[in-house]
C-alpha cells in the first residue's frame, strides 16, 4: 500500500473488466402496440420496489442509480428506462385534535435526493432480461456494488427475468414513455392514450390514440358529486377545484405523478394520479365532514357500438342513453366500456373504513338526466351517458379521518374488451410480480505495481492501468502505518502518472483505483 518516494514497490489486483454500453436504439423502443390496449399483458405492467429492499445503498444519491438489463446477443449490459420516486410522510395540524398524517410523493423535492425505505423504484416488466453471467463485465463507470433484481411472472412461474441496479456517474436518463410538462393545466400522454387536464380536479378529456383507437375525446369529464341521499347533487368537481392546491408533478422515464390537495370544504382531501404508458392509477383520500353521498365517476360521450360490461354484468348492456335497470348497486371487481372509438377497463379498490357505511357501484345511462346542479361549465353535455364509477354512502368522519379509494384504468383499443379481458386486468392488480433483490460486490484493485522515478527536482509515481477503473486517487502520508482515513488526498486523475515536487521529508504514496465514485482496495 505505502511507498517511500525513492523506493520502488509492487502491487497486484484482481477484478472483473468493464464495457462501454450502447443505449440509443434501446431507448427508442416503445411497448408493443400488439399488447398494449388489446387486453391484459404483463409486458407493459410496472414492477414497483421500495427502497427498503436495498439497505446496502440506503442514503445514497438516487441520481447516481441506474438500471440495466443483460443482452445475451451483444453480451453486454443495456441501460433501461427506470426511475426512483421519493416519498414522505407529512404530519398536518400537529398537536391539534385534527392532527393527521399523509403519505405523499415528493413532488416538491424536499427529501434531498437520497434513497429512503419508502421511496419507489420502478421499471416495466418488458424492459427486464435474462440473468447476466457471473463473469459478465460491469458497465464502465459503475461502483463496487450492484443489486440483482429477479422478477417472476405470477401467471407463469418459469418466466423469471432480471434487472441490475448499479451506481453510475455521468449518465443521462433516457426519454420517457410518458410526455408531460408537469403543469396542472397540461395534458399527459403516451403513444397509447392521453388525459386532457384543465386544472387541479378538472380532467375533461380521455383519448385512445391511433392506431389502437381513433384519438377522439371519449368522455365529457371525470366527475365528482356530493349531496344527501335522495336529494339533488349539490357540489361538483368545479367546487372541489376552486379551493384545491396543486402540489406539483413528477415526470420520469417510466411514469408521471400528479398531486393535488383539497376539495371544496374538505381541505385535507388528497388525490394523486400515476400515469404509465399503458395504465393510469388514481388514489383519492377523502377527509370530509359528515355527508350523505360522494360519487366519483366517468361521464362518457356517445360513440358507435358502445357497451358496458362488468364482473356481474358479463353479458354487457348497450350504452345508448336508456337507463338499464339490470345494473345493480353491487360493486363489481372490474368494469369495461368498449366502443368503436376506444374504451377502457376500470377497477376500484376502496380501503375498508369505519368512516363510510357503503361503497357501491354508480351507473347511470340516461341521456335525459343532467348530472350537473347548474350550468357549471361551457361544454357540459347535459346528460348522463354511460356514467359509471363509485359512490360512497353516509360518511361519518371529519377533516382528519381518511377514506381511501384506489382506481386503476387500462386503455382499450376500438371495439375491444370482454369478460375474459376484465378478469385478466383484475388478475394483474390482485397478483403483482414476485420480486427478490440480491446485493453483489466486486473487487477493484489494489494496485501493487507502483513505480517511483526519482528526478533532480521532482519525483514521479506511475502505475499500470486497472481494468475497470475510470480514475485514480493519489494519497500521501509522512508515516506509512497510518489508517486509511488519515492519508491526504493529493489528486484524482484519469492518467497513469503523478509528479510531485521533491521534498527532503520522507513521504509515502498510495494510488487507489476509482469507479462510479467508489474506491477500490488499498
**pLDDT at residue 128, rounded to an integer:** 98
Is 24's pLDDT higher than 80?
Answer: no
Mean pLDDT of the 83-107 span? 94
Is 230's pLDDT higher than 70?
Answer: no
Measured between alpha carbons, how far is residue 29 from residues 23, 123, 139, 265, 268 in Å? 10, 14, 21, 45, 41
**pLDDT at residue 520, rounded to an integer:** 87
Mean pLDDT of the 287-300 span? 95
The rounded mean pLDDT for the chain is 89
pLDDT in tens, 48-62: 999 999 999 999 999
pTM for this entry: 0.85
Q: What are residue 244's phi and psi, to 5 degrees?
A: -75, 160
First CA to last CA distance, the chain: 6
397 contacts: CB under 8 Å, gap ≥ 6: 287, 288, 289, 290, 353, 355, 356, 403
Rounded CA-CA distance 441/430 in Å is 35
pLDDT tier for residue 174 given thresholds of 50, 70 and 90: confident
Range with the poorest average pLDDT among 144-153, 247-256, 369-378, 480-489: 369-378
Is 27's pLDDT higher than 70?
Answer: no
Rounded CA-CA distance 269/285 in Å is 6
Rounded CA-CA distance 145/56 in Å is 9
* Nine cell digits for residue 279: 395504465
Mean pLDDT of the 168-175 span? 82
Rounded CA-CA distance 475/408 in Å is 56
**pLDDT at residue 377, rounded to an integer:** 63
DSSP state of 209: P
Up-side HSE of residue 29: CA atoms within 13 Å toward CB?
Answer: 14
| Cβ–Cβ < 8 Å for 177, 81 | yes
497 contacts: CB under 8 Å, gap ≥ 6: 460, 461, 462, 463
Mean pLDDT of the 142-153 span? 95
**pLDDT at residue 324, rounded to an integer:** 77
Is 26's pLDDT higher than 60?
Answer: no
pLDDT tier for residue 1 given thresholds of 50, 70 and 90: very low
**pLDDT: which is higher, 165 or 39:** 165
Rounded CA-CA distance 76/142 in Å is 14
Tally of CB atoms within 10 A around 375: 9
Query: Which of 343, 232, 242 is CA-nearest to residue 292?
Result: 232
Q: Which H helix or E strand runs over 246? A: strand 245-251
Long-range contacts of residues 98-101, Cβ cutoff 8 Å, at least 24 apart: 98/268, 98/398, 98/399, 98/400, 99/400, 100/268, 100/287, 100/400, 100/401, 100/402
Rounded CA-CA distance 481/106 in Å is 47
Angle at 423 between CA 421 and CA 424, to 5 degrees: 60
**pLDDT at residue 492, rounded to an integer:** 94
**pLDDT at residue 10, rounded to an integer:** 27
Measured between alpha carbons, how far is residue 128 from residues 101, 120, 125, 150, 285 in Å? 36, 17, 6, 9, 33
pLDDT in tens, 99-142: 999 999 999 999 999 999 999 999 999 999 999 999 999 998 88
pLDDT tier for residue 228 given thresholds of 50, 70 and 90: low
pLDDT in tens, 399-409: 999 999 999 99
pLDDT in tens, 183-220: 999 999 999 999 999 999 999 999 999 999 999 999 99
Instruction: Determine the distance from the C-alpha atom of residue 239 to the mean position of all C-alpha atoms in its chain, rounded to a whole number.
Output: 30
| Cβ–Cβ < 8 Å for 79, 168 | no
| Cβ–Cβ < 8 Å for 62, 119 | yes
* Nine cell digits for residue 353: 373504513
Amino acid at each position: 500500500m505505502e511507498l517511500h518516494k525513492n523506493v520502488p514497490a509492487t502491487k497486484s489486483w484482481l477484478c472483473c473488466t468493464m464495457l462501454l454500453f450502447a443505449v440509443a436504439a434501446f431507448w427508442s423502443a416503445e411497448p408493443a402496440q400488439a399488447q398494449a390496449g388489446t387486453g391484459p399483458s404483463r409486458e407493459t405492467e410496472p414492477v414497483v420496489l421500495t427502497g427498503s429492499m436495498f439497505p446496502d445503498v440506503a442514503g445514497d444519491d438516487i441520481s447516481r442509480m441506474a438500471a440495466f438489463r443483460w443482452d445475451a446477443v451483444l453480451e453486454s449490459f443495456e441501460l433501461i428506462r427506470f426511475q426512483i420516486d421519493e416519498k414522505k410522510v407529512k404530519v398536518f395540524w400537529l398537536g391539534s385534535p385534527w392532527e393527521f398524517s399523509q403519505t405523499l410523493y415528493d413532488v416538491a423535492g424536499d427529501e434531498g435526493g437520497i434513497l429512503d425505505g419508502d421511496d419507489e423504484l420502478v421499471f416495466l416488466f418488458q424492459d427486464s432480461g435474462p440473468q447476466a453471467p457471473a463473469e459478465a463485465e460491469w458497465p464502465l463507470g459503475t461502483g463496487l456494488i450492484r443489486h440483482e433484481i429477479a422478477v417472476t411472472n405470477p401467471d407463469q412461474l418459469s418466466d423469471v427475468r432480471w434487472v441490475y441496479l448499479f451506481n453510475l456517474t455521468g449518465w443521462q436518463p433516457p426519454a420517457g414513455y410518458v410526455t408531460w410538462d408537469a403543469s396542472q393545466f397540461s395534458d399527459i400522454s403516451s403513444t397509447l392514450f392521453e388525459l386532457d387536464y384543465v386544472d387541479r380536479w378538472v380532467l375533461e378529456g380521455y383519448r385512445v390514440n391511433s392506431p389502437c383507437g381513433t384519438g377522439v375525446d371519449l368522455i365529457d369529464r371525470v366527475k365528482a358529486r356530493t349531496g344527501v341521499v335522495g336529494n339533488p347533487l349539490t357540489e361538483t368537481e368545479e367546487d372541489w377545484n376552486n379551493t384545491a392546491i396543486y402540489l406539483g408533478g413528477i415526470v420520469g422515464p417510466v411514469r408521471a405523478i400528479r398531486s393535488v390537495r383539497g376539495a371544496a370544504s374538505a381541505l385535507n382531501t388528497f388525490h394523486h394520479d400515476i400515469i404509465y404508458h399503458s395504465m393510469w392509477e388514481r388514489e383519492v383520500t377523502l377527509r370530509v365532514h359528515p355527508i350523505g353521498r360522494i360519487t366519483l365517476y366517468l361521464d362518457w360521450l356517445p360513440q358507435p357500438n358502445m357497451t358496458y360490461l362488468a364482473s356481474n354484468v358479463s353479458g354487457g348492456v348497450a350504452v345508448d342513453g336508456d337507463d338499464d335497470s339490470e345494473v345493480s348497486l353491487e360493486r363489481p371487481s372490474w368494469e369495461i366500456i368498449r366502443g368503436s372509438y376506444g374504451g377502457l377497463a376500470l377497477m376500484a379498490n376502496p380501503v375498508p373504513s369505519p368512516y363510510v357505511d357503503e361503497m357501491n357501484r354508480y351507473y347511470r345511462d340516461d341521456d335525459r338526466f343532467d348530472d350537473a346542479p347548474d350550468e357549471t361549465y361551457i361544454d357540459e353535455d347535459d346528460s348522463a351517458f354511460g356514467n359509471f364509477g363509485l359512490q360512497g354512502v353516509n360518511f361519518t368522519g371529519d377533516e382528519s379521518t381518511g377514506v381511501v379509494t384506489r382506481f386503476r384504468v387500462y386503455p382499450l383499443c376500438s371495439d375491444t374488451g370482454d369478460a375474459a379481458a376484465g378478469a385478466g386486468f383484475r388478475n394483474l392488480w390482485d397478483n403483482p410480480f414476485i420480486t427478490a433483490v440480491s446485493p453483489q460486490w466486486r473487487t477493484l484493485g489494489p494496485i501493487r505495481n507502483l513505480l517511483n522515478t526519482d528526478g533532480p527536482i521532482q519525483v514521479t509515481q506511475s502505475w499500470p492501468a486497472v481494468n475497470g477503473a475510470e480514475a485514480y486517487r493519489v494519497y500521501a502520508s509522512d508515516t506509512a502505518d497510518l489508517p486509511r482515513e488519515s492519508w491526504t488526498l493529493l489528486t484524482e486523475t484519469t492518467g497513469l502518472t503523478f509528479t510531485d515536487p521533491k521534498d527532503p521529508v520522507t513521504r509515502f504514496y498510495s494510488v487507489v483505483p476509482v469507479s462510479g465514485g467508489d474506491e477500490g482496495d488499498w
